Amino acid sequence: MSDQRPILTTRQGHPVRDNQSLRTVGERGPATLENYQFIEKITHFDRERIPERVVHARGAGAHGYFEAYGKIGDEPASKYTRARVLNETGVKTPMFVRFSTVAGAKESPETERDPRGFAVKFKTVDGNWDLVGNNLKVFFIRDAIKFPDMIHAFKPDPVTNRQEAWRFFDFVAQHPEAIHMVTWLKSPWGIPANYREMEGSGVNTYKLVNDQGVAHLCKFHWIPKQGVRNLTSAQASEIQAKDVGHATRDLYDNISAGNFPEWEFAVQIMPDGPNDHLSFDPLDDTKRWPEDQFPLLKCGRMVLDRVPDNFFAEVEQSAFGTGVLVDGIDFSDDKMLQGRTLSYSDTQRYRVGPNYLQLPINAPQPGVKVYSNQRDGQMTYGVDGTGPNRHINYEPSTLAEGLREAPKTTEYHQPVEGKLGRFQTSRTEDDYTQAGNRYRSFEDWEREDLIANLVGDMKQCPEPIQLRMVWHFWHADEDYGRRVAEGAGIDLEKAKALPPLPGRAAPHKRLEAETYTDGTRAHKVAAE
Ligand code: HEM
């Protein structure tokens, strides 16, 4: 039978007649420099890696679609937003999703205890909308200027290249707002069983804007129809001994077998404004919004039904960012959200290149025509103005061929008044209520795993860090602080006697009962 397979070529389209041997003078060399085929092959190979993401380097991606219910809870979605992706029913909006860990390098084990990234690109009829979130619904810090310090402390020591518990807790000990997320992270919720069986959340606060230009603050959430499953440290170690990429395998195997994972999309909503009646700041991403006051309103579903054809082209080069919003979804003044927004496209211009948005994985869906006046730069692939306007790469122009602005919409005008400066909001004093609620809401086995993990970590920390951490845990819940202190042999009375942190308010807690849903578990946490 004749061989029907395609012929191997160089990138110039020349057929390769010998791929086994260098061109050499005689059988034993030397090699010659005019060997184009070899030079093309080896120099391309030399450039095959791009810088890994500075955070969230280890990840896996999948394609899928989003279907809106046209409603937010029981009300028409248009009451809150004019974004067509949430309003129009019967439309399958194409999506690409990348799940990740945070601190580990590109090939690090997927069993690591770490928040999981949950980055979603909706390729909507109005252009792209990215929602770049995590599985734990909150974050460690609430001011973007702290992010590089936080990541430095969580990543390996610059001398030994080892991640160290004392570096992590040295940072956390100075940041009471991190105790809530640390309580999640050191429990089994810090190691989701895989990417399919975990929740997602946009974490930061956004705004929905309707046709009349009326805005509401909102938070976005993903609820997995597969349920939620987490691992103890012992279970994770057992998996890691055999497989460092178990979560990618689980995702690819299930999608390839037609077992498509699915998430419901829900929003929490409150009127725009300072909402001074609340005892927490709705712009503080270290806090959750209690669901008895702000229920999870379902508004659509996402299905992942296709694995990438090529990991590098689609997953490694994918670029998500918090600045990528569509009309009807807007920024809030959440200081983390605002600080993040520059960072994503900045790093992507460095990591992938200035024309990263021309790559198919990052470009809008084919139905959305991109007509910008941007030209040139490294790796220019397409030229937006290939039509009659190809000469006119500026705007405005008196000529008929140039591009014009889109018709105006009813803009949302946020009133802003204040003194320019560096502030902490006065409503961020209580960093303990929700951490304590989290501790009390865990099942016994989860609490035991949490304490065991923290005891192990505390034993690696110097005494000043140990004492401050026990002080924080004790303020969140007395039983929490006592058990960590006893397990790690830390003097509880000495820890309790510490003064408040310099420049921070003395710890205090709220008293209201609150309801939260975690996985399939809805729980009311009692007032203390
Ligand atoms: C000031 C705060 C933050 C800054 C400066 C920041 C910065 C970054 C940067 C530079 C990247 C790499 C992007 C790339 O190379 O494509 C990244 C990735 C990511 N960040 Fe953040 N980040 C911040 C906070 C957060 C928060 C609060 C979350 C979760 C709610 C988050 C979730 C993610 C995710 C999921 C990715 C991976 C995206 C992907 O899969 O490509 N980040 N971040």
Total domains present in the chain: 1
The end-to-end CA distance of the chain, in Å, is 80
Q: Which band of pLDDT confidence, cut at 50, 70 and 90, is reported for residue 415?
A: confident
377 domain residue, yes or no: no
**3-class DSSP state of 9:** strand
Enumerate the active-site residues.
Answer: 56, 134
Q: d(Cα 371, Cα 377) in Å, to the nearest integer?
A: 16
Confirm whether residue 350 is marked as ligand binding: no
**Least confidently predicted of 87-91, 137-141, 223-227, 407-411:** 407-411
Backbone angles phi, psi at 75, to 5 degrees: -105, 155
Q: Which band of pLDDT confidence, cut at 50, 70 and 90, is reported for residue 506?
A: confident
249 domain residue, yes or no: yes
515 domain residue, yes or no: yes
286 domain residue, yes or no: yes
Q: Which pLDDT does position 527 carry in this prediction? A: 64
**Domain harbouring 239, CATH code:** 2.40.180.10
Structural contact between residues 154 and 418, judged by C-beta atoms closer than 8 angstroms: no
Q: What is the DSSP letter of 311?
A: I
Supply the angle between the helices 433-441 and 463-476 in degrees, to the nearest 10.
80
Specify which of 7-11, 254-258, 270-274 reaches the highest per-range mean pLDDT.
Answer: 254-258
269 domain residue, yes or no: yes
Protein residue closest via CA to atom 17 of ligand 1 = 55
Structural contact between residues 431 and 286, judged by C-beta atoms closer than 8 angstroms: yes
Higher-scoring residue by pLDDT: 375, 483: 483
Spell out the residues 6+ positions from residue 59 whose beta carbon is closer than 8 angstroms to its own: 53, 98, 99, 100, 101, 117, 315
**3-class DSSP state of 422:** coil
Neighbours of 399 (CB within 10 A): 10
Q: d(Cα 330, Cα 412) in Å, to the nearest integer?
A: 9
Provide the strand spans (E) within 272-307.
297-306
Q: What percent of the chain is modeled with pLDDT above 70?
A: 98
Six-digit token string for 173: 């000990």
For ligand 1, which residues put their CB under 6 angstroms from it? 53-56, 59, 98, 100, 117, 119, 132-134, 139, 144, 147, 203, 318-320, 336, 339-340, 343-344, 347-348, 351
Q: Which pLDDT does position 528 carry in this prediction? A: 57
10 domain residue, yes or no: no
Q: Which pLDDT does position 426 carry in this prediction? A: 66
482 domain residue, yes or no: yes
Q: Which band of pLDDT confidence, cut at 50, 70 and 90, is reported for residue 397?
A: confident
The number of helix segments (H) and strand segments (E) in the chain equals 13, 14
Q: What is the DSSP letter of 327?
A: T
413 domain residue, yes or no: no
Q: d(Cα 153, Cα 169) in Å, to the nearest integer?
A: 8
pLDDT digits (tens, 9 = 90+) for 81-131: 999 999 999 999 999 999 999 999 999 999 999 999 999 999 999 999 999
Q: What distance in angstroms lies between residue 55's CA and the mean position of ligand 1's atoms?
A: 7
Six-digit token string for 326: 């569509």
pTM above the 0.85 mark?
yes
Which atom of ligand 1 has the smallest separation from the CA of 148? 5
Spell out the residues 6+ positions from residue 79 whose beta carbon is closer than 8 angstroms to its own: 72, 210
**3-class DSSP state of 151:** helix
Q: Which pLDDT does position 385 carry in this prediction? A: 64
> Is 56's pLDDT higher than 70?
yes
| Element spanning 517, H or E | strand 514-518
**3-class DSSP state of 67:** strand
CB-facing half-sphere around the CA of 71: CA atoms within 13 A: 7
CA-only gyration radius of the chain, Å = 26
> Is 517's pLDDT higher than 60?
yes
Query: Which of 141, 139, 145, 204 is closest to 175 using CA atoms?
Result: 141
CA distances from 347 to 116, 134, 319, 354, 377 (A): 20, 19, 9, 10, 16
Q: What is the mean pLDDT of residues 226-237?
A: 96
pLDDT digits (tens, 9 = 90+) for 328-373: 999 999 999 999 999 999 999 999 999 999 999 999 999 998 888 8
Q: What distance in angstroms lies between residue 204's CA and the mean position of ligand 1's atoms?
A: 12
> Is 301's pLDDT higher than 90?
yes
Provide the strand spans (E) within 327-400.
329-331
What is the domain range of residue 116? 23-365+427-525
Which atom of ligand 1 has the smallest separation from the CA of 99? 40
Query: Which of 185, 59, 67 is closest to 119 using CA atoms?
Result: 59
Q: What percent of the chain is modeled with pLDDT above 90?
A: 79
Protein residue closest via CA to atom 24 of ligand 1 = 340
